[in-house]
Amino acid sequence: MTNQTVTDISAQDSDALVGPPLWLLAELTYDCPLHCPYCSNPTDLSDTKNELTTEQWFKVFSEARDMGAVQLGFSGGEPLLRKDLEELVKHARGLGFYTNLITSGIGLTEKRITKLKEAGLDHIQISFQGADPELNDAIAGRGNAYQQKFNMAKSVKAQGYPMVLNFVLSKQNLEQIEDIMRLSCELEADYVELATAQYYGWAYQNRDHLLPSREQLVEAEAIVNKFRDEQDGKGPHFIFVTPDYFETRPKACMNGWGTTFLTITPDGSALPCHSAKMLPLTFPNVKDKSINDIWQQDFSFEYFRGDDWMPQPCKGCDEKEKDFGGCRCQAFMMTGDMHKTDPVCSKSEDHHLIQQAIDSANNPSKPIVPRVNQKAMKHAKDTELNITRIKI
Amino acid sequence: MNTPIVTPEMTPSLNAMFRFQWEKAQNCFVLLFPEGMVKLNGGAGEIMQLIDGQTNIQQITAALHAKFPDAGDLSDDVNEFVTTAIEKKWLNHD
């Protein structure tokens, strides 16, 4: 009677028909109070004025839920900047979604945590940039960010939520790994993602300043393992994610293109992953098409499904079912051809580009660029204009 | 970790980290947790429906027996599932 009880969310049966988008990521806005240089949002945030309305989001949630979507992430940018967040949570929870808030913690108050709980929010994930105010706030580009995050994490647990903490690791903060783990224990996190930065968007531009050396990573991993051993089954569950640049096989990106994940950007673009907008494909918009049509029929979602699209060495590789040729965005960014084998793979003819990136990170030649959002960009332009005027 | 010994008097309850619900698209009961899902088979779903933090193992087994009179003695199945579920932290117990 109780034989096979567990099925992993990533291991759904692949029938002829495409399975449902189990994971829906709703990027509510690209606006963000922080300026983290590791941000994976697109570097061109200029056309973000047409944010979806409350009603348009309701429609997205209903259509995705009807297809069998079950996990819903409210993300951004900073989702707390949407004044209708509580309404959106309430609607989604009413449809039966498990609702996840993925936040920087900036803009959160005890009162809002309570209101979100009343709306039915299931879980809050808070990101930290470091284990102390100095480093955290320097990376985040905002004073008092650490203290705010700390206080809100305390409150999230006090109000009975499951809490995940997310630390994006880079060579800027990797030395703090042990303090980060201690902080996670102090805050009583349930899960902790110790995730080395993935190099997309702003992070790709800043890669030389973020990508740690192999030695740094080996050392960090040893510290993580020692800490885990001493936990004795107590405290947070730590998940350590190493950067794929140090692997010889690519990651099974998004569990396969168009199989599990669906991202909706602030303006309603539907993407098979949150970085896909960079690819030379035309992606559909939820303002024009239903989620069902997008998922089941759209050219862009069909494009990298299965293995018909694969060139060599992927096509003849006996591991293609495992990693699906890796990440399309990474292939495109590094080789200029989105069809090519992910350069992380040692079988790729472009694998040397990875080694070049690792070498280049030892000696950054460009300055680090903090993420700026639309409003901040406007200010930056104003400043430039002023300078020009003065010159005239 | 010590394997819990399931007794007839034990009253299991769902760990607040998880949400239990019927998932139509999966045609099964599931446990939902931050960014994840566990699909339960038919038997596990039947047992989970009876776990409310008030009902003990003996009562759960009796209720199942009443619902499935032809299934024989179900106590081993209940004990096995509850043991697994406690180990996986899906369930707490008194």
Tens digits of per-residue pLDDT, A93-144? 999 999 999 999 999 999 999 999 999 999 999 999 999 999 989 888 888 9
What ranges in B1-94 are assigned the alpha helix state H? Answer: 42-49, 57-67, 75-87
Q: Do B41 and A4 touch (CB under 8 A)?
A: yes
By the 8 A CB rule, do B84 and B7 touch? no
Question: Coil, strand or helix: which one is A345?
Answer: coil
Q: Do B37 and A1 touch (CB under 8 A)?
A: no
- Short-list A169, A353, A329, CA closest to A251: A329
CATH 1.10.10.1150 applies to domain B12-88: yes
Question: Coil, strand or helix: which one is A79?
Answer: helix
Fill in the DSSP letter of residue A283. Answer: P
Q: Do A1 and B43 touch (CB under 8 A)?
A: yes
Fill in the DSSP letter of residue A388. Answer: H
Residue A383 pLDDT exceeds 70: no
Residue A81 pLDDT exceeds 50: yes
- Short-list A329, A301, A320, CA closest to A252: A320
Q: What is the mean pLDDT of residues A206-218?
A: 88
Q: What angle do CA B13, B18, B21 make, to 5 degrees?
A: 90
Smallest Cβ distance to A2: which of B16, B21, B80? B80
- What does the H/E/C string look like for A107-169? CCCHHHHHHHHHHCCCEEEEEECCCCHHHHHHHHCCCCHHHHHHHHHHHHHHCCCCEEEEEEE
What pLDDT is attached to residue A272? 96
What residue spans define the domains of chain B?
Answer: 12-88
Stretch (H or E) spanning B93? strand B91-93
Whole-model pTM: value is 0.88
Burial class from Cβ neighbours inside 10 Å (0-12, 13-18, 19+) for residue B31 reads buried
- Short-list A262, A304, A298, A261, CA closest to A279: A304
Smallest Cβ distance to A191: which of B34, B47, B77? B34
Residue A384 pLDDT exceeds 60: no
Cis amide bond preceding A313, omega within 30? yes
Q: Do B33 and A98 touch (CB under 8 A)?
A: yes
Q: What angle do CA A202, A102, A192 make, to 5 degrees?
A: 95
Q: What is the mean pLDDT of residues A215-235?
A: 93
Tokens at A329, concatenated: 């965005």
Residue A11 pLDDT exceeds 60: no
